Structure 1
Amino acid sequence: MTDLLAALLLGIIEGITEFLPISSTGHLLIAERWLGHRSDLFNISIQAGAILAVVLIYRRRLWQLCTRFFSGHESRDYALKLATAFGVTAVLGLVVKKAGFELPETVAPIAWALIIGAVWMVLAEQWAARRAAVLGERAQITWTVAILVGLAQVLAGVFPGTSRSATTIFVALLAGTTQRAAATEFAFLVGIPTMFAATGYELVEVMRTGQAVHEDWTALGVAFVASALTAFAAVKWLLYYIQNHRFTVFAVYRVILGVALLLVVPAGE
């Protein structure tokens, strides 16, 4: 398999899995076992490609938040809560980075995270449904939701396999935003500055340390475009799907994949 084809496949995998609640990082770590290990810059850059798709999908919402920041209280309040969630993630993310955190090199932790995350998803959705029945449909994003979503992003980054989208969406649902569409929108929007900042940070590090000369920029570009295009389609489909369906199908997929990995991949690999 050529390097460009491998990069293309990794970009497609990232684009499909970044926003579906099945863990993009977990899938990439597994895929790299057969498609070749990539740099941190490569992995974060293709995540940024997926985030670019969200920018395009929510471009009108983002434009509204920018143009009405000073004239509309609602838009300003929402934007400040997005900034708060991002701030929590950025500060704690830097702490984790400086502490020398490394992603797992073996499959077992990812497999268990997929399985445990699936159980948590089912339980969280049931709890969220009960809260919605009692409180009614609430689309409001509170300051508590914003802070917890920021924390959830860090948690998902530390434990690959948990899924950033699943963690942030369900945290928002359990914290009081009972409307799934509103919780999903906030979770996706806060991912925009988070992933772009992470990409910028890694790019600066690569340039500073001189690792840029070893980066295959052509392969990265191919993967970036593939990620953006597939993520656009995946997000469009997910936003339509969650209008009338629960997340149960994703939980089932996570369990099947997690169990398969534990059975097929030898222990310690």
Structure 2
Amino acid sequence: MSDPISALLLGIIEGLTEFLPVSSTGHLLIAQHWLGARSDFFNIVIQAGAIVAITLVFRQRIWGLTTGLRQRENRDYAMKIAAAFLTTALLGLPVRMAGWELPETVSPVAWALIIGGIWMIVAERLSERRTGVAEVTWTVALLVGVAQVVAGVFPGTSRSAAAIFIAMLAGLSKRSAATEFVFLVGIPTMFAASAYAFLELWLDQGLGEEAWGDVALAFVAAMVTGFIVVKWLLGFIKQHRFTGFALYRIALGAGLLLLMPSGT
């Protein structure tokens, strides 16, 4: 397969999976087994494309929050986003510096997909039995921050899935409210993570020669695909559960373990 087509497909996969509760890291790892491994810089850039996509989707909400901070409701919501982000940063930075992360091989990703799928089904059922609140609480905000760190340690977990379902279990009753908050927290979190990864790469002199046309193509593909997927998902969850995504994760994880039992 030619490099431009491979880059295009990887960008589309990143856009499709970054915000769905199915794990973009896991899907990119699996895809690169067949499409060819790419540089860390390439992976950072396509994630940046997905970040731009979600920023565009929520541009009006972000503008309303930033220009309406005099209103108590907006100020409170923005402070909770900041609290979730700072929790992730304060816990995640030492974890990252210590190198606490599972190897990005197929077996741990497959198990994370399966366990995460089961967790989604159980968590959604448990949250539906509880009498929750419609607004984000401080407890929800802090737990979302912790969930993002856990997802970063276990490739295949899915940042969005871990955070959305911990928010629902913590009492946020509406799937749409939990998803919106997690996505808004994800914007500064992903920007910071990408910037940190880029800085590490630059300091290690890992910015070698790149096929800039391929990088640009993948960036645009991730951005366009991510925008479409987020818009679709926000409408979908108003009427549907996450069960379909959970079953997909379990089936994919089981298939990987059967097809690639050695994990390579």
Unaligned runs of 5+ in 1: none
Question: 2:2, 2:79 → 1: CA distance?
Answer: 45
1:3-40 Cα offsets, whole Å, 9 max, x none, are 22211111100100111111111101111111122233
Residue aligning to 1:73: 72
Which one-letter code corresponds to 2:165 in the other structure? F
**Number of residue-to-residue matches in the alignment:** 264
**Residues 73-108 of structure 1, C-alpha deviation per residue, up to 9 Å, x if partnerless?**
111111111111111111222112211245524211
The answer to whether the 8 A contact 2:12-2:218 is kept is: yes
Is it true that 1:233 corresponds to 2:228 in the alignment?
yes
Give, in angstroms, the shift of residue 57 of structure 1: 1.0
CA distance in 2, matches of 1:195, 1:8: 21
| Worse-matched range after superposition: 122-131 or 220-229 | 220-229
Q: In the alignment, which residue of structure 1 is the partner of 2:126?
A: 127
Residue 213 of structure 1: aligned partner: 208
Q: How far, CA to CA, are the matches of 2:39 and 2:27 in structure 1?
A: 15
Q: CA deviation at 1:123?
A: 0.4
Cα distance between partner residues in 1 of 2:211 and 2:136: 41
- Give the C-alpha shift of residue 268 in structure 1: 3.7
Superimposed CA distance per residue, residues 172-210 of structure 1 (whole angstroms, 9 cap, x where no aligned partner): 111111111110000000010011111111222233232
Residue 28 of structure 1 is matched in structure 2 by 28
Counterpart in 1 of 2:58? 58
1:141 corresponds in structure 2 to 136
Gaps of 5+ in 2: none
Task: After TM superposition, list the pairs within 5 Å mapping 1:1-269 onto structure 2.
Answer: 1-69=1-69, 71-131=70-130, 134-135=131-132, 138-269=133-264
CA RMSD after TM alignment:
1.4
Q: CA deviation at 1:139?
A: 2.4
Structure 2: distance between partners of 1:102 and 1:219: 29
- Work out the CA distance in 1 between the residues paired with 2:216 and 2:85: 26
TM-score w.r.t. the length of structure 1 is 0.94
**Conserved in 1, the CA contact under 8 Å of 2:85 and 2:145?**
yes
1:66–1:47: structure 2 CA closer, same or farther, 3 Å change rule? same
Contact preservation (8 Å) 1:139, 1:183: no
Q: Which amino acid aligns with 1:51?
A: I
**TM-score of the aligned structures, taking structure 2 as reference length:** 0.95
Which one is further off, 116-125 or 193-202?
Answer: 193-202
Closer/same/farther in 2, CA of residues 149 and 239 from structure 1, 3 Å limit: same
Superposed displacement of residue 222, structure 1? 1.5
Distance 1:94 1:41 in 2: 20
Q: CA deviation at 1:58?
A: 0.8
Task: Give the partner amino acid of 2:35.
Answer: L
SS at match of 1:212: coil
Deviations 1:196-245 (A, max 9, x none): 11111122223323222334433222211111100111111111111111
AA partner of residue 176 (structure 2): A
Among all aligned residue pairs of Structure 1 and Structure 2, give the percentage whose two residues are the same amino acid. Answer: 61
Cα 1:32–1:103, aligned 2, differ >3 Å: closer, same or farther? farther
Q: Distance in 2 between matches of 1:26 and 1:225?
A: 21
In the alignment, is the contact (CA less than 8 A) between 1:41 and 1:199 conserved in 2?
no
Match for 1:199: what amino acid? S
Amino acid at match of 1:87: L
